[in-house]
Structure 1
């Protein structure tokens, strides 16, 4: 076929730029399923996404050259080569019963419990097929605005690929067939929970059949010797037989040819390798043992030699198919659990700005509920900074190059917040009565926040996994990460009036509690502000509970299971008022053994009271609904909390020193806090802290227990908890002078106890490296460890940068802006509820108030709520009433 003149010119342009193309290896990061700046994917528009054949980064056309001038030395007119990937899901034609004169469609009603089997439920593969189209694009940044100016574009498919330069074809094929960043991130979380693949014990005695079989180097020649299938093919390493793989649980997969061959040959040849996964790096090859006592993925160290016996030379071989693990991740990602349970089918679905659902990535509902609360419009300041308001987020995108975007927290936060607040990716509102509605599973409308989850949790031992986590812990950790990123953002993040750096996000939730201590010996008063906190954690005073119909408090809540109560009485759930929870938090309490410096460090009782120093714009309240049972297992307290939708905290405001009070002398207090005789606080072991948190204890209580027993012993800390969990200050924030985060004796000195503890616990850093990190993080061991792991690629360079920054006094510091304050009246605007035995299992759901109506966010399901579970929530978000309609302009 002769090429048209225009096509010839286009091919010349492609040939001229071909030298820039690279071939992606399995270890390269390739974003071929989603734009790194937005949630646009190959499905969302007719243009799909374009993937740069040099950098392997996928974007939309409008952002293809973002920050190019600052990240490369290329001219705007210099051309780059891309592969455009477009996909469309279409419904398959239903089977027609030819024996029926009316040509009626055959029934789709399931009569068997199973998917992809005759008479069972239809799988996605049964109902839909994906049509993929590709093209090779050459373009530049001719207008200097970061957009792709297309110079030429030619279709790329099996019939045209041979007309392209070989390097272009190989590069495009490598990108199209690559697992991609999305699957890679899912696999990372998946593999964290899996045992390492064993070396097959059949390797040393594996028979080799010298039957002369040689395997072609051309993948198009491979096919199953039983069925003729040309996909999902496995090579038997003993006799060279090529057979189809096993079927998946949903009916997809292969023809079972390889497994059938193993059975038919007397189970003598158990080891196989998946054709198409073999590359020069044999660690990426998919190997499996069919032996009944293994029946699992295995390692085969001498795979190269076994392949060479069949004529396969691995030099230059490329990965052309997905591995079993990659397919398993994709299969589980599309499995519609809610479709089976029909949960919420009676609710009225909604969609639009602030009403965008999020796909569950596997136990990621804790994250989905938190980000919905923060970024879908309920907190307008964060929507203004990162979402759709008035060009917000422009700098956070334009100042970051495509190659760095997927790993940049501010960029990924902007990407997520814009999607949630704008409604730009919402599909048509699903019809709850239509079982065949396409929008509920159509990838065109599904938002999977993988990049955001990865960039937030990549350095955290728990949040980087695919396991369920505590939503309250995630909220605090996310704010800490955002604070650090915002402090180091420079001109990417400015206040709206351009007068300087903007306030950090946690400022919206930040408050201090005032502690008032009265010495029993002389009635002198000591006032002290606690550290800044972002969550108010409340214990539930069950002694104040009432049962439905009772007029008096149910003091004796724990009745014997053997009591002669009727079933109706047993099913009654006690209720505690929110006001009672606050009274418990603020109630006077006695500390028996308090050491008073002004009494020459003698011990005397103290009466302690806690009050608010300020009322933040948003107050997040966590209810401590979990406790340890008699068997030391965490259990949920069965109680309803009567929380009003309007509540005044005004009576809990601290008033500071009052007339007639005699205060403990300031100079004595100063001596106490700066005394060199006070031993430094031990470093808190993060692993021990995680174990205690998993048991259902509060964060502050866990830290207090570990500090009391030396920082690392879980058993000793648990014993301390049982002895002290009724202490009035058990769940209070730790004072700055005793918390591990203040273990450093000054800004310039570093606590060597913390340094050596981190050196021993982390095991991969020198004392000098740890010391620099601890100094940079103001003595906080957890933040120092986080900083070290996040700079491992060039740790010495990062430490040198710290030294240079310190020398020029330019190290980012937290803003000194006064904590926001106002009237203590609040409105309830958000809930996060939890179902399960403890906060690290079960399921999280968010409810947010939108235009006076409650809306439920159950991952991808967004609907008007009929009965918001206000009495059962785990976290409550209150907004200060005097801020309604007047968001803080400094964001």
Structure 2
């Protein structure tokens, strides 16, 4: 017999709709799961889950009586003998993943829980109101919210490129679909959609052979599009454009395949597709986990030593989170803080950051996984699923399950955290302030020695790598001599020549230098490992020797030490005068890190600004693709003038009706409905122009000015201006001169041929039993390091974190 509270509120409970999220993977406020002793309590009113005796009570206190009835949901792992010792087929006919049901994997133990009575009740259909019983059944059977997000994210947003339309085909009567035309390989075969040539692909992770004959065919025949034969089935196909260097979608693929007598409805997938191979690479590509003597490195457990489970290509995110929460400022900002009062905690970034801080720092989840039969027992690791879903929401890259650039995610996450603190008048109240410092830009006229100075507020440096002597091994892999941090800093701060009108002598030749005006508590260094080779971005594995005693001295780059007496300051004449004698200054501020990367590749400043503006100011990669597509534009080198937002708004308001069939046409090409609508609006409902705009703006979020009007109004006048922050920082620096010496605290390393594939790990200096020791965070594996991994750190370092001497973050 149930209690009166359940009987009272049962009529208010209704089963979740198909579009409604059901949260049953972990607690909304911590990482307790249904595998815990007491399971999870799932609120039958809002379908959010909470741990027993703590956060269920917090939820009830915030939401009231109608949220007091829970489904207690427990999972108990079935023994392996029951699920895995089945007779296995001698041979797999095709690659196929059959997902087992929860009944096959776990024992499920469920009951009703009333928080007011603090009592559990059996679930009996004869005693419960029909709506309540149907709700319980629906919750148990529902796909969890994180699983739905995972499935959605795995569906990569592959779109057609400009080469995918109207492919000109040649007939091939002597077609052999079972072997490479240029060698003996019979797997990893790619069919050229232009002429039917069969070539093997590139060698792939996991020992899959390849001699790159499909790539060679493109280079000689200029046929860019090929399809992987082993990936073909009625619902999947790997198509690659060698000219765009990306996986693409071909709208009429079935028609083109029929030219070579392939019926896509009849073929069977026999090989892993590119997504599956990338996941295999990411999940299995370990950094060295052995010590100097070959023994397995020792797992360690305890406070501030909790691993993060790899969600599939999420190691870029895990390394950034591990490094951020290893800093005392971020620990103080989020660890143990009170949760905000939000109806849905999974949609609130502050809640998710507090949840992560508690999970990573407390040590509660840093325990050996005794459920495995492995000799060396690592942690299970906590799963940051809800955080990943929230932080990547609507972002074209971070919402996907593809590997991403860890440094891009670092800057993106800090921007999101900055927004949480935008109303703070004192910049010291913002955790991100520990990264901020001022660079003094000094321009000197080579003719009259006049000086122009400006201050730039930034939060990181992206340093170039010197290409020392290069050798090539037997596999064609380039080998570089190591560089040093001194060389990297010297190259970045070295004078460069620029063209600028001198207001004193009208000369156009200036030298430009950068110097430190102030110093951050935490200095972030990004190593520029992306270089252009034949106009293709490639990663260079130049070793970076760690500084002696892991310390660097930046005093030689200080603005005061490079002060020249009797400097003649030139009149400020940076504002541009337009043809109507109206003073106008662009409001667009390009992404400084992307600008640095693009300019280091040799692109002129004006082109870089235009590219970033036209690609959403997101990344150097998107901007570079735009530059390649617009290099022949007649006005590419004309001064950049930002279009007036009023012009865009006028165009939108006068043409905000689009035809549904036009949206469907673009959607059929792989573009989302939201961005398709925006493209049609901005191009007067011309489908062809809209397609061109979509290819030129791959990173656009599809938002129209009206969509963001409320948010912009809310932010206006609330945040402290950049000029005010610069003024305050300079004043504080003069009053309390800071140390110019830094110690290495952490390194994010990347292993792989591209920043967007391979695997990331973090090395962080931790105080272990009173000694500073390097700890490797490799997803859920947390182990002590020894000298054997020093080479890994030097060879693969990508993002470096230095802390200033005598600051709060100083490594003790």
Cα deviation for residue 354 of structure 1 reads 1.4
1:409 aligns with one of 341, 349, 368: 349
Cα-to-partner distance string for 1:405-453 (whole Å, 9 max, x where unaligned): 101111101111111111111222779xx85469658xxx431111111
Higher mean C-alpha displacement, 860-869 vs 653-662: 653-662
**Which residue of the partner structure matches residue 743 of structure 2?**
827
Quote how far apart the aligned CAs of 1:860 are.
Answer: 1.2
Q: State which of 265, 275, 280 in structure 2 corresponds to 1:294.
A: 265
Q: 2:317 matched to which residue of 1?
A: 367
Aligned length: 633
Per the alignment, residue 122 of structure 2 pairs with 155
Q: How does 1:589-608 map to 2 (within 5 A)?
A: 589-591=496-498, 593-599=499-505, 602-608=506-512
1:818 to 700, 707, 729: 729
1:302 aligned residue: none
**1:803–1:383 Cα change, 3 Å:** closer
Tell me if structure 1 keeps the 8 A contact 2:306–2:363.
yes
Residue 585 of structure 2 corresponds to residue 614 of structure 1: no
* 2:404 maps to 1:472: no
Structure 1, unpaired ranges of 5+: 1-7, 97-105, 118-122, 141-149, 197-269, 272-290, 298-328, 491-498, 546-556, 723-737, 745-749, 770-781
2:332 is equivalent to residue 384 of structure 1: yes
Contact 1:856 1:865 in 2 (8 A): yes
TM-score where L is the length of structure 1: 0.61
Deviations 1:274-310 (A, max 9, x none): xxxxxxxxxxxxxxxxx9843799xxxxxxxxxxxxx
What residue in structure 2 maps to residue 875 of structure 1? 799
DSSP-derived class of the 1:466 partner: coil
User: Aligned-pair distance for 1:704?
Assistant: 5.6
Structure-2 separation of matches of 1:162 and 1:578: 73
Distance of 1:878 and 1:466 partners within structure 2: 30
Deviation at 1:167, TM superposition (A): 1.1
The answer as to whether partners of 1:400 and 1:411 remain within 8 angstroms in 2 is no
Kindly indicate whether residue 521 of structure 2 is the aligned counterpart of residue 521 of structure 1.
Answer: no
* C-alpha displacement of 1:11: 4.5
The correspondence for 1:189, drawn from 142, 153, 162, is 153
- Is 1:28 equivalent to 2:20 in the alignment? yes
Between the aligned partners of 1:134 and 1:353, the Cα distance in structure 2 is 33
Q: 1:610 to 1:675 in 2, by over 3 A?
A: farther
Contact 1:90 1:129 in 2 (8 A): yes
Tell me the CA shift for residue 606 of structure 1: 0.9
Q: Which residue of the other structure, out of 627, 631, 635, is the alignment partner of 1:717?
A: 627
2:538 — aligned with what? Answer: 634
Task: Kindly state the Cα deviation for residue 527 of structure 1 after the two structures are TM-superposed.
Answer: 1.5
Higher relative contact order (CA 8 A, sep 6+): 2
Q: For 2:740 and 2:282, how far apart are their aligned partners in 1?
A: 44
Give, in angstroms, the shift of residue 460 of structure 1.
1.6
Q: Report deviation, 1:484.
A: 0.3
CA contact (8 A) 1:162 1:169 kept: no
Report the Cα offset of residue 53 of structure 1: 0.9
Are 1:168 and 2:139 matched, yes or no? no
Query: For the structure 1 residues 473 and 665, does the alpha-carbon distance in structure 2 shift closer, same or farther, using more than 3 Å as the test?
Result: same
Match of residue 658 from structure 2: none
Structure 2 counterparts to residues 236-275 of structure 1, below 5 A = none
Q: Tell me, in whole angstroms, the C-alpha distance in 2 between the residues paired with 1:541 and 1:709.
A: 26
1:219-230 superposed matches below 5 A: none
Deviations along 1:164-202, one digit per CA (max 9) or x if unpaired, are 221111111111111111111112211244789xxxxxx
What's the CA shift for 1:510? Answer: 1.1
> What is the distance in 1 between the residues matched to 2:103 and 2:5?
41
Measure how far apart 1:381 and its partner are. 0.9
Conserved 8 A contact 1:628-1:696:
no
- Residue 500 of structure 1 deviates from its aligned partner by 7.6
Shift of 1:162: 3.6
Separation in structure 2 between the aligned mates of residue 127 and residue 151 of structure 1, nearest angstrom: 28
Establish whether residue 130 from structure 1 lines up as the match of residue 106 from structure 2: yes
Q: Secondary structure at the match of 2:28?
A: coil
Q: Is the radius of gyration larger for structure 1 or structure 2?
A: 1
Task: Tell whether the 8 Å contact from 1:354 to 1:421 is kept in structure 2 after alignment.
Answer: yes
Contact residue 683 and residue 753 of structure 1 kept, 8 A: no
Q: Secondary structure at the match of 2:404?
A: coil
Contact 2:529/2:541 (8 A) holds in 1: yes
Secondary structure of the structure 2 residue equivalent to 1:51: strand
Is residue 79–residue 138 contact of structure 1 (8 Å, CA) maintained in 2? no
**Offset of 1:51 from its aligned partner?**
1.1
Distance 1:578 1:672, change over 3 A: farther
Shift of 1:573: 3.8
Listed one character per residue, the Cα deviations across residues 809-830 of structure 1 (whole Å, up to 9, x for unaligned) are 5567678452775211011010
Checking the alignment, whether the CA contact within 8 Å between 2:481 and 2:542 is kept in structure 1 is: yes
Cross-structure match for 1:228 = none
- Distance in 2 separating the partners of 1:27 and 1:880: 50
Aligned CA distance change for structure 1 residues 682 and 167 (closer, same or farther; 3 Å): same
Question: How has the CA–CA distance of structure 1 residues 483 and 685 changed in structure 2, closer, same or farther, with 3 Å as cutoff?
Answer: closer
The answer to whether the 8 A contact 2:503-2:570 is kept is: no
Aligned residues of 2:590 and 2:612 also touching (Cα < 8 A): no
Measure the CA separation in 2 of the matches of 1:464 and 1:475: 15
Question: Partner of 1:280 in structure 2?
Answer: none
- Alignment of structure 1 residues 49-64 onto 2, 5 Å: 49-61=40-52, 62-64=54-56
Instruction: Give the TM-score of the pair, scaled to structure 2.
Output: 0.66
The aligned counterpart of 2:74 is 86
Partner of 2:784: 864
Find the counterpart in structure 2 of residue 229 from structure 1: none
In structure 2, distance between residues paired with 1:138 and 1:700 = 66
Distance 1:635 1:384, change over 3 A: closer
CA contact (8 A) 1:823 1:882 kept: yes
Give distance in 2, aligned partners of 1:674 and 1:419: 59
Report the CA distance between 1:801 and its aligned residue.
Answer: 7.1
Shift in CA distance, 757/20, structure 1 to aligned 2, threshold 3 Å:
same
Matched, 1:838 2:751: no
Q: CA RMSD in A?
A: 5.1
The residue number in structure 1 matching 2:495 is 588
CA deviations over 1:599-658 (Å, ceiling 9, x no partner): 4xx342112211111110000111112212236352424444443311111111112894
- CA 1:37/1:95 → structure 2, altered by over 3 Å: closer, same or farther? closer
> For the structure 1 residues 828 and 590, does the alpha-carbon distance in structure 2 shift closer, same or farther, using more than 3 Å as the test?
same
Structure 1: how far apart are the matches of 2:554 and 2:628? 33
Give the conservation status (yes or no) of the 8 Å contact 1:85–1:133. Answer: yes
Matches within 5 A, 1:416-495: 416-428=356-368, 435-436=373-374, 440=378, 445-487=380-422
Deviations 1:183-240 (A, max 9, x none): 11112211244789xxxxxxxxxxxxxxxxxxxxxxxxxxxxxxxxxxxxxxxxxxxx
* 2:461 matches 1:536: yes
Give the match for residue 230 of structure 1: none
Runs of 5+ in structure 2 lacking a partner? 161-233, 236-261, 269-274, 615-622, 633-638, 656-673, 683-696
State whether residues 437 and 517 of structure 2, in contact with CA within 8 Å, keep that contact through their aligned partners in structure 1: yes
CA shift for structure 1 position 26: 1.7
